[in-house]
Structure 1
């Protein structure tokens, strides 16, 4: 039995019409049709899986799930988790711990020696334990019009910097697409630039509220300088201050103009493939995430979705079995081929590469970017960290490398110490 419904305020029925337990699987809006298929495939003669759809934004997803789990809701059996939720939810006691050989495989993979991509495996570990199972591993690359880069004289077979990309777009009448609305993806951009410059927003996150705030650094200034440069440039898109993952897609192949350079997630190729002409698709290029500092390898963003089992489920054994089924190699392959959501395991990646549905160099760029990328801070207080950064770095038109990193460091420290509210 399957069902799709908006997340309701009250508890959901624990039994279906057949009398079997119903495991509620809360999912984000990406790949819902594939989730529906696997909810049916992974249901058994002992339990059914019902799909419940979460809101679109990661912030709203966290709020909905946290409210349920804080209330010890027994109907929250399975959930799709943005990687930054895992530490917070595990620290709060809201997730069942993954044990046995699967946990061993994930922990080994986090050290670069197992089937899971190390960048994906690292997102589900917390306090010497494993608290979720990686489903797909997301990352960002630099998408661009080959004709635009060629006209600007950029050799895209070599690493490029943010400065080069902004200058090239402005010179040729093109634009640079980013995510700079006041939401989580803006922090993803800031974090990636800071890490690519050799810094961190915070460190020693295991200390919780006593984590070390590091953003007032040269790396923080480098990131702020790039944001200001783009905001002041002719390459800035008109909706820069409210831009998101979807808004810049249409700027790649405009009715007139040379197009854009754009940082965005892996779904982009499958978004364009069925909708643009063959000539346009041939003009679509991809490269590693831009460097913040020339000569220092970039740290592409690491995202994706992990599957967690709610701590208060009344069917923990069933839910853990279902979690393993809905993170299987085949669903990872299907999500990649149908939805553009890349796998979390090397075995699934190999099958996606062998399918011929993606250029092989693009597949390897995705895989390398996850393993060599940079995660957002793994902290039980990540929501506070993200909120504080958004509060002081937005709008991008107000960012000043001489003041924004320092102001945000002071504010973030006060928020973590409970001296100020978001």
Structure 2
């Protein structure tokens, strides 16, 4: 979900078009400028509007046809992989979930950027998304927008519990104790899907570990989740799931279920993406919550595993990539340059609600007005801990999701041990997902 599916209230309906129709649209009119086909993740229409602006700025040298991928990140990957494996030249530009960049690059599906373009496409980009844009020391993706999770809390609950989540050293253990003491719940994403992997990874890397190492070894990469860091992640997840602070049906909860619990009478704390702030505003306008509830909402950096070690918040977002088989590489590159520029980072953030990848965007007056937590978002993205960068990410993520679900059954050290063994077997083809 990527985190690319983490705006369910604002996402447009997914559109899956027939292959023949897409091929025809990509060919363009022989008598006019070429048509660049941009495959996007669903949003509120912001990428389509940006495509029109970039085409206009190109002074007629190309047109842009936007094709919307399925809503689910795994389905987005599957559709693109199948077409690129067939060397589909109609895929010019892709909005790609960062965890899939390594897989696509390793398979030869992406057109790398040269040194000159790499400089322009990475200047001022925050460190978190920048880490996801390379494969084997070559820039293969341009960070477009980024995302991170914050800790959201009800000020009245924190005050009554005598804790300060914004103090900088606030931990998961402190949060669970505070929620239990106030008979409140903690909203998390623990359904068996990518959002759960996001949470598990954030806890592991915040504890100083990794889920898998030696990723360039491919199938021979080494699962590393069976470690002290993995044990800490399991202790926190299983402990919360079996505590009074667990929300109802925690093991089937996604972003919206967590938000609903947080905005309800039992809400105390929540980890979730920045979209929840604007969604809460909408809830006030719809009459779903009161202004008093909205005014009680505050935010802070993702909680720590250890009080003495800064957390590594989750990282999401979208990178733009150029298809390896495009017939129009120069025009595709121009579209990527335009869409990822600093001015358009600001435009898209204000239009879509998705945070910018370039740090300077957060200094814009309109951005800071729309996002009072802009500084926390920027810091969190800059210091985020990406999910494993591996060509076998889908196998790694699914292995973790299977062995760590449901959260009520997660224990330390049994779950990390099982997860490492299962992951290794899957990578070596000895077990199926």
- Corresponding position: 1:403 with 2:414: yes
Alignment-derived partner of residue 147 in structure 1: 156
Task: Give the CA deviation at 1:156.
Answer: 2.1
TM-score of the two chains, using structure 1 as the length reference: 0.92
TM-score, normalisation: structure 2:
0.90
Cα-Cα RMSD: 1.9
- Give yes or no for the alignment of 1:97 onto 2:112: yes
Aligned to 1:174: 184
CA change 1:370–1:353 in 2 (3 A) is farther
Partner of 2:370, secondary structure, is coil
User: Which residue in 2 is equivalent to 1:74?
Assistant: 89
2:19 to 10, 35, 41: 10
Q: Is residue 242 from structure 1 mapped to residue 252 from structure 2 by the alignment?
A: yes
1:380 CA drift (Å):
0.9
Structure 1 residues 353 and 200, CA, compared in 2 at 3 Å: closer, same or farther?
farther
Determine helix, strand or coil for the equivalent of 1:415.
helix
Deviation at 1:79, TM superposition (A): 0.9
| Rounded Cα–Cα distance in structure 2 between residues aligned with 1:387 and 1:343 | 28
Deviates more, 1:189-198 or 1:16-25: 16-25
- Assess if the C-alpha contact under 8 Å between 1:267 and 1:339 holds in 2: no
Counterparts of 1:84-163 in structure 2, within 5 Å, are 84-105=99-120, 114-158=123-167, 159-163=169-173
Instruction: Specify every segment of 5 or more residues in structure 1 that has no aligned partner in the other structure, as ranges.
Output: none
SS in 1 for 2:132: helix
Greater Cα offset, 260-269 or 130-139: 260-269
- Residue of structure 2 in register with 1:208 after alignment: 218
What are the Cα deviations for residues 157-183 of structure 1, in whole angstroms up to 9, with x where unaligned? 322111111221122121111111111
Residues 296-327 of structure 1: CA distance to partner in whole angstroms, max 9, x if unpaired? 21110111110011111111111111111122
SS in 2 for 1:273: helix
Match for residue 41 of structure 1?
53
Which residue does the alignment assign to 1:297? 310
* Alpha-carbon contact 1:333-1:352 (below 8 Å) kept: no
CA–CA distance in structure 1, aligned partners of residues 365 and 175 of structure 2: 30
Contact 2:212-2:221 at 8 Å conserved across structures: yes
- 1: distance between equivalents of 2:392 and 2:256? 28
Report the Cα distance in structure 1 between the residues aligned to 2:32 and 2:430, rounded to whole angstroms: 51
Q: 3-state SS of the aligned residue for 1:84?
A: helix
Paired residues in the alignment total 409
The runs of 5 or more residues in structure 2 that have no matched partner are: 1-12, 285-289
Matches of 1:337 and 1:5, distance apart in 2: 22
Does residue 416 in structure 1 map to residue 431 in structure 2?
Answer: no
